[in-house]
Structure 1
């Protein structure tokens, strides 16, 4: 730990260097002239900042471009030696990680399917990281690690008189199994929020300050941005659509996760089991959709009822949040015909909010975790010259 603290102190930057580095991180590469213009600094000041950043291996010369007058112009970029981050998806069906340099270059990416219970997932993900040959070859620890969890992540992980949340238990198992230094900042975030970050920074929500991502798969959840910032709520449980009551009648029980249990993929298959018998029963949502495409009326009816309900749920979210755009993701939305039912129902109720289907697939969550880890690392390096994606991220206590 002392070595880590010493390394961090050795790379502490002056305020001018922080400002220049923050602009270089934003644009990826730039000349001194462009950096001076974007940062509002004089050319000599930028030159001094780049000298400091180069000496600390934060910035490097990418190439030289020949100018009109025959003088070469140096193009600078974020150095490979500036550090790396780790994003980890600890999901309900697979664990995966992606390691990236601060400049965005991918170092390693691995996934593993599993059938373990929630209490085992942290250890499985940690073992995947610890056993990675690519990560073992890296001689420095990551600047930050972000864990995407299939759990509500409370703002306060340790509260007097309250039981320890499962999110913290999973994270602690990961840290132990991964053998990463405990002094590294570990950020915990809900998996749907991570997917929302991926869409907002590098997807269909990019450029929209008010936007939402709705995941429809085994679970149903919502992650959203308002005024360009990820909204996590007072307790950390914003976007938990699964908790919306399914029935408003006092004589009809609406249990915990009622919406999710009814309209997630497991709920769809329960409806299938009640409508089909024997060998004719499709064994998965994909099989149901294929049967519907072949003209089976029962399959088409179930598909339509389910899609319409989800379209109305999306319309409910839009009514409350008033986003410019909602992006639908998750396993059930990957069938074009089923997604079309959701979109049509939504648009019959809301003509103002744009509704799109995510193109990122299953990798959205781990990408979002990477972006949050990078965001945290950048904030620690450039301090006040960085607007964080999450104003109050949940970090594991030391």
Structure 2
């Protein structure tokens, strides 16, 4: 389908607005009203736009209101989390059409379920898959395979459920969550910040000027690769910092702290934080040490980026008990930097992936005209 330049511009504006009159489309696209009328007629003929009603103006005259047509299609966003897979299907104006959740092993089944719930006949324009891995982007912006084996097998199993010929784009899951914080979370209204995820692993989403910084190798924010430790007599090991701050080490420290208590030690981070919230002495000490470790990582982020704001996310990073200790350690080691907890919750990654999928879907229809995300 080859659209005129004006039709592509009007479609991108209409997708971003959801609904609009022709005067509104003309103002947003910077086109004359006659040009917009011709473009709208072209989009209607292709069923990419449709009249959804009328609205009365201040003068009493009515104007047709347009929305996306049935041929605009839908997009799919997939969050291949470490334990849970979340999938959303959205229209190109961002409206949620279907969603599903399952275990990581059930990724293909969840994708099939959501695809069945999309409107019949609606073409699938793009798929964005959020993976816990480095993602290399080619010059055209198309995602390659995950750079390591972390996501590979699960991605391969999920990919067979996708319709053939649909563009599939990969994105790092932390970058997706950072986008969600930017547009609908704790960083709304802030154009530059760092999203620091602390959970099973660690990662950093870097937003500069409202855009995610990906780096030359698609690996910007891979703080797991920071050299650690830097003590005499101990050589830094690959991803040793992630091993130190991740959940496994946190629970190992809890086990050590419980040795002289005569009590069973907490076997999950959720139980550890719950005990700390109840005032348990050993739990509070372990959580305080964890907060200091995260604060030192935040200080490293501040030293390199000076982002002004750091949003803490992830399974353990979002617990409010960490905030005081992180803030105190960061203040001790670096300059003033605001630190807040994530507000998008466990759906942040798939929400950010949905926004990227919508932008990719619009590009597919318009032949490369970029949409804001």
Q: 1:343 to 1:60 in 2, by over 3 A?
A: farther
- 1:340-359 matches, within 5 Å, as 340-350=324-334, 352-359=336-343
Runs of 5+ unmatched residues, structure 2? none
Question: What is residue 144 of structure 1 aligned with on the other side?
Answer: 126
Tell me if the contact between 1:95 and 1:113 (Cα under 8 Å) persists in the aligned partners.
yes
- Give the one of 60, 64, 69 matched to 1:79: 69
Give the distance between the partners of 1:102 and 1:387, measured in 2 at CA.
Answer: 11
Task: Point out the more displaced range, 227-236 or 339-348.
Answer: 339-348
Deviation (angstroms), 1:356: 2.0
Give the distance between the partners of 2:336 and 2:52, measured in 1 at CA.
Answer: 45
Task: Point out the more displaced range, 344-353 or 377-386.
Answer: 344-353
What do residues 156-204 of structure 1 show as CA deviations (whole Å, max 9, x unaligned)? 6879xxx98554554333222x1x2331101011111111122223323
Tell me if the contact between 1:200 and 1:208 (Cα under 8 Å) persists in the aligned partners.
yes
Question: What is residue 318 of structure 1 aligned with on the other side?
Answer: 302
Tell me if the contact between 2:229 and 2:237 (Cα under 8 Å) persists in the aligned partners.
no
| Structure showing the higher helix proportion among its residues | 1
2:359 match: secondary structure: helix
Give the distance between the partners of 2:176 and 2:59, measured in 1 at CA.
Answer: 48
Q: 1:97 to 1:152 in 2, by over 3 A?
A: same
Instruction: Give the TM-score normalised by the residue count of structure 1.
Output: 0.84
- Give the one of 219, 226, 230 matched to 1:248: 230
Instruction: Give the TM-score normalised by the residue count of structure 2.
Output: 0.89
- Give the one of 209, 213, 238 matched to 2:220: 238
2:101 match: secondary structure: strand
- 1:221-300 matches, within 5 Å, as 221-277=203-259, 278-300=262-284
Give the distance between the partners of 1:324 and 1:385, measured in 2 at CA.
Answer: 32
Tell me if the contact between 2:229 and 2:241 (Cα under 8 Å) persists in the aligned partners.
no
Question: What is residue 320 of structure 2 aligned with on the other side?
Answer: 336
- 1:1-398 matches, within 5 Å, as 9=1, 12-114=2-104, 121=105, 124-132=106-114, 134-135=116-117, 138-155=120-137, 167-176=151-160, 178=161, 180-277=162-259, 278-350=262-334, 352-383=336-367, 385-386=369-370
Corresponding residue pairs, total: 366
Deviation (angstroms), 1:77: 2.4
Give the distance between the partners of 1:279 and 1:138, measured in 2 at CA.
Answer: 57
Deviation (angstroms), 1:273: 0.8
Give the distance between the partners of 2:152 and 2:278, measured in 1 at CA.
Answer: 47
Runs of 5+ unmatched residues, structure 1? 1-8, 115-120, 390-398
Tell me if the contact between 1:208 and 1:324 (Cα under 8 Å) persists in the aligned partners.
no
